[in-house]
Amino acid sequence: MSVGPGWYVDPADPETRRYWDGEGWIGAPIPVDATPPEGPPPVEPPPPPAPAPVPGPPTAPQPYPGQPHPWQPGQPPPGHGQPQGPPPGWTSGGWPGRPPEPRPHGLPLAGFGARLVARLIDFGIVFALNAVVNGWFVWRLVEEVTPYWREVIRRALAGDTSTEGLPQPSEQAGGLQIVILLLATSLWLAYEVPTMASGGQTFGKRMMGIKVVPLEADEPLGFGRALRRWNTLGLPTLLWYCCGLGLLLQLVDALSPLFDHPLRQALHDKRAQTVVVQLPRTPRTTPDDRTDPSGDTP
């Protein structure tokens, strides 16, 4: 079985990763927990040419007893034209074992469960903010659409399928809906982007011990990258009134880490070139009461 080009664990040294071009290893190895670059490594400069040998009478090498005859000029080199197999040390089935999971900047990737719980915590906080800021507008919108839906439900229970004479919401209903979505989107942006830009953690992510870091370096995201990351997930909120189109886009984005390998990036992670990692848990230190001798001990 032929193995396609890519970065793989070096069977000769499982602590390193090298690039396999389909025929052989190329380039220098990198640590196995480092994030490999896209594509093959840069081409190394060729070695300086060796000095030309002094010409002399040609002599053919003589094989030792029991040794196969060496390659002669005018003949194809040994192994020429033979199909290339897997890399040295690999089995014919492909991977010699399960490939190790990437560890960006030496940290394990965050699981989908931890990311989902962190997002639900953040949604709860944003919902509470909306209840305070958006509450009056939502109450006015409910007053506008309640007569319409009450009459629709009454006719449905009575078996009446006609739509004539239904009370229609006023023109304010459309404006209220736009105001509610604009405020909800603005509150989400104000809650998430500044905290992600400075520390890579919202309150929910801090509670779950996970953090968002750039792929290329373990450093703060910065406002621009944090805004690009939020845009992909947050801006579709403005499309909720379009038959739920925005909610569908956000659902696809939220589930995308389940199908992305090996870095488990969501669509908003791919746009910002970020990855979510699990931070190491700090052990709790408790005072040892036995170290304090009791005054009653003789």
Q: What is the pLDDT of residue 55?
A: 66
Q: What is the pLDDT of residue 295?
A: 44
Return the biggest CA–CA distance within the chain: 111
Distance between CA atoms of residues 219 and 236, nearest Å: 28
Tokens coding 111: 């699981």
With contact defined as beta carbons under 8 Å apart, do 5 and 67 qualify?
A: no
Distance between CA atoms of residues 64 and 71, nearest Å: 14
Q: What is the pLDDT of residue 61?
A: 55
Amino acid at 70: P
Over the chain (298 residues), what is each successive 10-residue block's mean pLDDT?
Answer: 72 78 78 79 71 63 53 53 54 58 87 95 95 92 88 86 83 88 94 94 95 88 94 90 86 92 92 93 60 45
Q: What is the pLDDT of residue 17?
A: 82
Distance between CA atoms of residues 234 and 45, nearest Å: 47
Q: What is the pLDDT of residue 283?
A: 65
Distance between CA atoms of residues 250 and 13, nearest Å: 42
